[in-house]
Structure 1
Amino acid sequence: MIDKSIAAAAAATDKHVPFKRIFVTGASGYVGRNLIRYFVERGIEVVALVRSEASEQVARTLGAIPHRGDILGGGLVALMQGCDALVHAAADTDHGPATERQQQVNEVGTRAVMEAARAANIGKVVHLSTESVLATGKPLINVDETLSLPRKFAGGYSRSKAAAERIALDCNAPEFPVVVLRPRFVWGRDDTTALPALVDAVRSGKFAWISGGNYMTSTTHIANLCVAVDRALANGRGGEVYFISDGEPVAFRTFVSALLETQGLSVPEKSVPRGMVRTVAAIGDLLARLSGGKIVPPLTLQSYATSAVEISLDISKARRELDYGPVVSRKQGLEELRTDQHW
């Protein structure tokens, strides 16, 4: 059964997509599953790269053609044959201490995917990145795509995704256009990442606001991200980066409270000072580094940078060049979540 918001997004985006067979990496993940739903609803054939029997079944049930493989395992060219577009959604999104595995997946894996796509004569690529490539732990207020990557990143996730982005863009060519999308705080029904973690934190008594949580944040409903991918395939200029969001930012506390309330949870009042949280995160990173990864800290600067300061995005470029606009409002997305309490 297709999600109402995904179906609505697919119906609202009635413009032509110039591709008939799309290859999706990370197809069994949260974003990948919904990309399958969206493009199948649009009447486009989706070839899904999956790594396990369970993931293969998920992709097949959603209407995709599953192919078993690994972005680090070779054989990608053969799997991509016959596809005319690629959406690279596979990534290691862990916000803990940096790991060699994360670097391999996000950097080496991206290079392997891009090289295979070029060899398979893929006509266009959308590489899914993140606003976290800019994260340092300092606020990012109404930033646009002209802001350069920082010299020092918040952590391994930001560092490896920034490297992956550079690798993807370096592959851009007139005959092989590569477009990069940077969504922020992806959410919605079927979320297996952000909302479950928030719910677990509340239920375990570990949840607390950072300095009250009243700083602004951009968000991206999963259906809006699917529309953005669609528009990037149709209109995105090769070599360009685009921020994606739900539009106007919202107070972090307001939005997270609304998310938790959809799951029948009352919002805690506990708050801790931002300076204290940053100190704990810095100590955690130091201990992880000195122990060679044997100590896994409860908080890292990477996770701090994601949730403790304002991060708001200017999506004017996506509106102008991609003809992108949010089709599912926060109100609509939250209402859908209220009818789907499963954590």
Structure 2
Amino acid sequence: MPSSDSAIQPLSHSAHSFPVLVTGGTGFLGRHIVGRLLAQGRPVTVLARRVADDLVARGARFIAASLDDAGALRDACAGVHTVFHVAAKVGVWGRYDDFYRANVIGTRTLLASAREHGVRCFVHTSTPSVVYNGLDLAGADESLPLTTRCPSAYPLTKAIAEREVLAANSPGLRTVALRPHLIWGNDDPHLIPRVLAQARGGRLRIVGDGRNRVDMVHVENATDAHLLAETNIGQCAGRAYFITNNEPVVLWEWINNLLVSLGERPVGKRISLRAASAIGACCEAAWRVLPLRGEPPMTRFVASELAKDHWFNATASYRDIGYSPRVSMAGGTAALIESLKAK
């Protein structure tokens, strides 16, 4: 069960001095992981495309590179005990080859580099969409097979990467894959701003019957899970775990409550899943043949994600990782609303 929101402060479990590499350490989750590690006094190397001066000021060492820079990945693993592999190409649209190069080849190269330099622990940030099957996922657990058929390159390539990470588990290099679902929280630069922009522009529609339930995970809880996976790698190595707040919400109720709390109009217009999927297919076709920039306003994958149940059985993460969400949905949402009102 979720515990008290009074524990939003960093975990107090004992820190050690083993050097750490965090890929994608300037992203939303990665930045929180880096911040927590630095607060513990850990030597931290960050591999990211751009240097973050504030993290440098706090003591982080930076390697400015992307996941397709094999030399940089090898250099980044030198002298490291643990790799937190958070970086990925994320999105619902784009060329499969681009996703494959970052998410599969990049992960494969990083694993090889970790083995070459004697890295002992590899914590991989995966995603629940690796088990996408086009159906409602209600209380699903880790026994679901990895997807091989999905209308989006992101889940397909992340599934391949996760499989290779877990296959690499050995006594010398212990690996684990975490699947945090819909990471959110204060200063979220992706999920919440996108929802607000779509709603304010009158472009948001309830897809389906509006009663679908989804799991989300607060960024502080997702950070906890990653650090606990390192601490308890002996119990969780070689497996994948769903990481959630363990409080499924009715998606459209949560979105509308957030909007109303911010003085915005709730979403009332609806579209059926069938119609949204058809529009998504047309948009995908147009984006393939025309020189259109950005992501399509709708895709088949997004339509499914907005209309279907996506909540998971996270029992295994409690048992093996020692994970338990410290920031509840209610407490985290209240803090998010206050931070947004203050902007």
TM-score in terms of structure 2 length: 0.90
| Partner secondary structure for residue 206 of structure 1 | coil
Return the offset for 1:134.
1.4
Identity value in percent: 26
Matched residue, 1:112: 109
Matches of 1:7 and 1:30 in 2, distance apart? Answer: 22
Q: Using a 3 Å threshold, how does the CA distance of structure 1 residues 19 and 313 change in structure 2: closer, same or farther?
A: farther
Matched, 1:87 2:88: no
1:281-306: CA deviations, max 9, x gaps? Answer: 233334445x2876863211222233
Matched residue, 2:164: 167
Matched residue, 2:224: 227
Matched, 1:49 2:47: yes
Contact 1:7 1:38 in 2 (8 A): no
Equivalences, count: 335
Contact 2:46 2:61 in 1 (8 A): yes
1:170-197: CA deviations, max 9, x gaps? Answer: 2221110110000111100111111111
| Partner secondary structure for residue 339 of structure 2 | coil
Matches of 1:262 and 1:117 in 2, distance apart? Answer: 46
Matched residue, 2:317: 318
> Which runs of no fewer than 5 residues in structure 2 stay unpaired?
none
Matched residue, 2:20: 22
Matches of 2:189 and 2:175 in 1, distance apart? Answer: 28
Return the offset for 1:141.
1.1
Matched residue, 2:64: 68
Match of 1:183 among 180, 183, 186: 180
| Partner secondary structure for residue 198 of structure 2 | helix
Q: Using a 3 Å threshold, how does the CA distance of structure 1 residues 215 and 81 change in structure 2: closer, same or farther?
A: same
Return the offset for 1:155.
1.2
Contact 2:17 2:41 in 1 (8 A): no
The one-letter amino acid paired with 1:314 is N
TM-score in terms of structure 1 length: 0.90
Return the offset for 1:335.
1.9
Return the offset for 1:265.
2.4
Contact 2:273 2:304 in 1 (8 A): no
The one-letter amino acid paired with 1:30 is F
Q: Using a 3 Å threshold, how does the CA distance of structure 1 residues 224 and 62 change in structure 2: closer, same or farther?
A: farther
| Partner secondary structure for residue 52 of structure 2 | helix
> Which runs of no fewer than 5 residues in structure 1 stay unpaired?
none
The one-letter amino acid paired with 2:331 is Q
Matches of 2:336 and 2:146 in 1, distance apart? Answer: 35
Q: Using a 3 Å threshold, how does the CA distance of structure 1 residues 19 and 107 change in structure 2: closer, same or farther?
A: farther
Matched residue, 1:297: 296
Matched residue, 2:250: 251
Return the offset for 1:227.
0.4
Contact 1:56 1:67 in 2 (8 A): no
Q: Using a 3 Å threshold, how does the CA distance of structure 1 residues 167 and 293 change in structure 2: closer, same or farther?
A: farther
Contact 1:25 1:88 in 2 (8 A): yes
Q: Using a 3 Å threshold, how does the CA distance of structure 1 residues 247 and 62 change in structure 2: closer, same or farther?
A: farther
Contact 1:212 1:253 in 2 (8 A): no
1:153-210: CA deviations, max 9, x gaps? Answer: 2311111111111221222211101100001111001111111110110111101111
Matched residue, 2:339: 340
Contact 1:213 1:308 in 2 (8 A): yes
| Partner secondary structure for residue 276 of structure 2 | helix
Matches of 2:197 and 2:217 in 1, distance apart? Answer: 22
Contact 1:131 1:243 in 2 (8 A): yes
Moved more, 253-262 or 267-276: 253-262
Match of 1:192 among 184, 189, 192: 189
Contact 1:36 1:63 in 2 (8 A): no
Matches of 1:259 and 1:83 in 2, distance apart? Answer: 42
